[in-house]
Amino acid sequence: MTHLPALHGLKVIDLSRVLAGPLAAQILADLGADVLKIERPGKGDDTREWAPPFLSPNAKEPLENSAYFWACNRGKKSLTADIGVDVGRELVRRLALDADVLIENYKVGTLARYGLDYETLAKDNPRLIYCSITGFGQTGPYRKKPGYDTIVQAMGGLMSITGAAENMAEGAGPTKSGVAVADQMTALYSSVAILAALQERQSSGLGQAIDMSLLDVQVASLTNIGLNFLATGKVPVRQGNRLSTVYPSDTFRCQDGDIMLIVGNDEQYRRFCQAMGVSELAADARFASNASRLQHVTELDPLLRQAFAKMTVHDCQNALDAVGVPAAPINNLEAVFKDPQVIARDMVRTTKREDGSEVRSLANPIRMSRSQVMDNRGAPKLGQHTDLAANGWPQS
């Protein structure tokens, strides 16, 4: 028996572009919501033009083949509407009458000029949940400033604690994350907020406005590092891949590559030393406890690096696995998608397109025992479902 997805029947309007908003809407689509993406005629979402890379090397329809667009728009319907003219605005208003959720990431105040803000739409549909995603939120001195992921990583402190430690490597300095973490975390927080508002609506019968800020999310995500500063007033510095709370915890160079290691307690440290052939370092009083290892890290670190340099990544990994010490090779993406655990968890989906070609994409990581997760669908063509919306919410 095939069970319906968890959000079956939920109607979502996606008025957002680029990453945070579209990804939040895609999460809802994966969980079974009917997501209608409203795009600009002729151009669509900005990321339709963020290519190459294309899905196929000989893409004949560039707007339909952007890998970036496909990363956060699968499973949606696409409708084109120009909200700068009456007919486009009226179309969105009519669709909002039947919608449960609307997600938008326009600059503060923009949609109010078109009568598509929460206060206006909620008059006709008081059950509407309206999620606004901006760089800095709907209030505060920065509310009208544009905000992108890397700008927020900089302002929100992430770049100050990311990268090689000063004087430890040539070119050391603040570094952005390798993926757009502020955008992605905001998408996750937004989807959680939307689901919470849906739950609350069951008792109140009313929707509500949700105000999501990339900067807010980035500051919240500082977690223990942020709390450490608030508790002590001490500004943290970059430590590269080393953790500030335990040691050994760092990347180490082997004969043929790099490995990441975290030794979480003193018992693990003893097993680690045995596995790496440096049992004498476990008996050394300077390194007997985590606190003393942190105190004497400059003495311990080069001794450990000598031990790793004598072994291959494979040999180190096997030795550490055998004694239950957490370690992992620094995989490039080719290695990631060949990893047997990634394969076993089915983290790549293959989707058939209308022309018969196949596209590989990343799976949704949610696994539910009964509810189907619909992450094997493709992204829509620009305006593919516009004609279906002539008489209301478009049906598949």
Asked if 241 and 259 count as a contact pair (C-beta separation under 8 A), the reply is no
Asked if 232 and 225 count as a contact pair (C-beta separation under 8 A), the reply is no
Q: Which tokens go with 55?
A: 């899905």
| Side chain identity at residue 148, one-letter code | Y
86 is catalytic: no
Q: Which residue's structure tokens are 């003193």?
A: 266
In what helix (H) or strand (E) does residue 131 lie, and over which residues does it extend? Answer: strand 129-134
Q: Is 99 left (phi over 0), alpha (psi -120 to 50) or beta?
A: beta
Q: Find the catalytic residue in 149, 183, 216, 375.
A: 183
Residue 122: name the closest of 216, 197, 25, 18 by CA. Answer: 197
In what helix (H) or strand (E) does residue 215 lie, and over which residues does it extend? Answer: helix 214-220
Asked if 131 and 22 count as a contact pair (C-beta separation under 8 A), the reply is no
The stretches of 99-175 forming alpha helices (DSSP H) are 110-113, 118-124, 149-155
Catalytic machinery residues: 183
